[in-house]
Structure formats: C-alpha cells, structure tokens
C-alpha cells in the first residue's frame, strides 16, 4: 500500500488498480527460455528428461487447456472436469470458489477459472485459485485426477516438472520494486 501511494496517490481508484496489476503482469513476461530455444531448433537446449516431460505433457492431454506460447492463459475451464475437486477438498465452498460465475452470474460458469499460464509456475507456489496446494508434485497429481480423470506416476510427474522448469526465461527488469 505504501508503494501504491507513492505512485498513484492516496485514492484507491479502479483505473490505478488496473494499471498496477497490468504493470505487474507485464513483469511476468518471460522470453528466450530454454524451451523457446528448443522449439526454435536447438535440440540440446533442454535435457532428455525435460523432452520426455514435454511428450508426457502433450500425451496426457494437458495441452487441451494449457496451450500456445504461454502454455495457458487463453481460455476458461471448470476446476474439476472429471471429478468433484471441491467435494474432495473437504473445506466449505466459498464465493471465490465460484470463479467466473462471480463475473457472469451464469450457472454455466460456476467453478470455472482462467486456465493459468504455466510459464513461471515453478516459481509461483502455492497453487490453484484457492492456494490450497503447496507443491508442484501435488498440483500435477490433482490436475491429472480432476481435469483428465487419470493417475500419473511419480516418475512422469518429475519429468513434467523438468519440462516446466525449461519454460522460465529472461524477465524484463521491474521498474518498481516488488510490493511488500
């Protein structure tokens, strides 16, 4: 809040908040990652384990939702397509869990969220909109179960993580220090 005031003044205004969030999101842009170099033709830019992880990521069907250059970020999907995530989580459902419904008030959008980009996912625990999962291993296990209706072996999870690590590239310098 102190840093916000320094830039935008004392008033909390929608346009200032949007500007602050958009500037933060721009700082998340990552370019020239090992995976980008791999796709550009440098076959040795990523390890064999990461290459296998990429194949697993595609063959399990993760790419049905986590797509294109940002490996996500271009569609909304239900959390719990194949099994009831919220029932099995075991904690009461909150307004935030209704996701996009809070914007559209259309029943169809209940429990629907923007598919997140996985570009910086290895740096960004905890996971999911409810922050309920602290490890990437668990997040991937839950994705396999709730979004694809299948189990994933511990070995395959490690390979997928090796792949996800290759998505992190160079970042634009933050023009403002990160919020406290």
Picking from 47, 116, 50, the residue whose alpha carbon sits closest to that of residue 79 is 116
167 binds ligand HEC (CB under 6 A): no
Picking from 112, 139, 115, 141, the residue whose alpha carbon sits closest to that of residue 127 is 139
Distance separating alpha carbons of residues 28 and 89, to the nearest angstrom: 29
79 binds ligand HEC (CB under 6 A): yes
Token pair for residue 164? 């996800």
# binding residues, ligand HEC (CB under 6 A): 27
Of the candidates 139, 162, 166, 167, which one interacts with ligand HEC according to CB under 6 A?
139
28 binds ligand HEC (CB under 6 A): no
Distance separating alpha carbons of residues 83 and 149, to the nearest angstrom: 7
165 binds ligand HEC (CB under 6 A): no
30 binds ligand HEC (CB under 6 A): no
124 binds ligand HEC (CB under 6 A): yes
121 binds ligand HEC (CB under 6 A): yes
Q: How many Cβ atoms sit within 10 Å of the Cβ of residue 164?
A: 23
User: Is the CB of 4 or the CB of 113 nearer to ligand HEC?
Assistant: 113
Distance separating alpha carbons of residues 103 and 39, to the nearest angstrom: 37
Token pair for residue 131? 């922050």
User: Is the CB of 107 or the CB of 151 nearer to ligand HEC?
Assistant: 151
Of the candidates 58, 129, 171, 172, which one interacts with ligand HEC according to CB under 6 A?
129
Query: Distance from first CA to last CA of the chain, Å, rounded?
Result: 8
Question: Which residues of this protein are in contact with ligand HEC, per CB under 6 A?
Answer: 57, 60-62, 64-66, 77, 79, 81, 113, 115-116, 118, 121, 124, 127-129, 136, 139-140, 143-144, 147-148, 160
């Amino acid at each position: 809040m102190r840093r916000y005031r320094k830039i935008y003044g004392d008033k909390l205004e929608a346009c200032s908040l949007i500007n602050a969030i958009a500037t933060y999101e721009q700082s998340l842009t990552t370019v020239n990652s090992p995976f980008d170099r791999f796709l550009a033709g440098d076959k040795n830019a990523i390890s064999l384990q990461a290459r296998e992880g990429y194949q697993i990521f595609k063959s399990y069907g993760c790419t049905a939702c986590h797509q294109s250059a940002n490996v996500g970020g271009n569609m909304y999907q239900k959390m719990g397509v194949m099994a009831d995530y919220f029932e099995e989580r075991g904690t009461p459902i909150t307004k935030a869990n209704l996701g996009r419904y809070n914007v559209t008030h259309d029943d169809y959008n209940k429990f629907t969220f923007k598919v997140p980009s996985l570009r910086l996912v290895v740096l960004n625990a905890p996971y999911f909109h409810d922050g309920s999962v602290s490890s990437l291993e668990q997040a991937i296990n839950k994705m396999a179960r709730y979004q694809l209706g299948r189990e994933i072996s511990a070995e395959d999870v490690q390979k997928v993580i090796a792949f996800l690590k290759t998505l992190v590239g160079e970042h634009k310098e933050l023009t403002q220090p990160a919020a406290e």
